Amino acid sequence: MLGGPESLPTLPFELKMRPSTSEVGRLCGRGTPTEAVVLFCFGSATASQRVRDVWTACCEIYLQAQLARRGQPYWFSLLGEQLFEIFYVDRALVCTWSPEHVFAVDQGEFAASCETLVQQVIAETSDLGFQEFVRLGASLILSRPQFALLKDLELRS
């Protein structure tokens, strides 16, 4: 059970990928159809989600990091599947997978980890710069309702 805003402890957060981001990036760079598992690490607890389209998933992860930076409540989704609800208590980002699985993490750490994962994948592609990736990918999915709040997003690396 979560306490009041003054007592809300946060867990370390890290977003990872299997196979590694470097391997996924190399495969994507070669145009090889690539599947991966995204790992959401909340302290010692880990949840995973298989993604069949790494390119789109990375675009979504990047855009959702921007929503987190803006403090917007939303559902974290990958490839159309809603994984967990996000709301905020002070600088804590609270992820609700289910009534029994609620994790509070630092808002900035969450956003940075999402951005880092995407940057690591893109860094391994042979000819695609990060900025180009974001522009191409974002243009494909910014029309989705959950990203409406980002219409004025300045794409940055």
What's the pLDDT score for residue 63?
Answer: 84
Q: Answer yes or no: is 3 within a domain.
A: no
Structurally, the chain folds into a number of domains equal to 1
Q: Which of 60, 53, 61, 63 has its CA nearest to residue 27? A: 53
Query: What number is the average pLDDT over the span 129-137?
Result: 66
Q: Answer yes or no: is 150 within a domain.
A: no
Q: Answer yes or no: is 106 within a domain.
A: yes
Query: What number is the average pLDDT over the span 115-144?
Result: 74
Total Cβ atoms within 10 A of residue 144: 13
* Rounded-to-10 torsion of CA 131, 137, 140, 141: -110
Q: Answer yes or no: is 107 within a domain.
A: yes
What's the pLDDT score for residue 20?
Answer: 93
pLDDT digits (tens, 9 = 90+) for 20-35: 999 998 888 787 778 8
Q: Answer yes or no: is 110 within a domain.
A: yes
Single pTM value for the model: 0.81
When comparing pLDDT for 132 and 117, which is higher?
Answer: 117
Q: Answer yes or no: is 148 within a domain.
A: no
Q: Are 37 and 17 in contact (CB under 8 A)?
A: yes
Q: Answer yes or no: is 19 within a domain.
A: yes
pLDDT digits (tens, 9 = 90+) for 54-112: 888 888 898 889 889 988 888 888 887 888 999 999 889 999 988 999 999 999 999 99
Q: Answer yes or no: is 135 within a domain.
A: yes
* Distance, C-alpha 93 to centroid of its chain: 13
Angle at the Cα of 23 from the Cα atoms of 143 and 128, rounded to 5 degrees: 50
* Distance, C-alpha 148 to centroid of its chain: 17
* Structural domain that includes position 100: 10-141
CA distance 49 to 21: 15
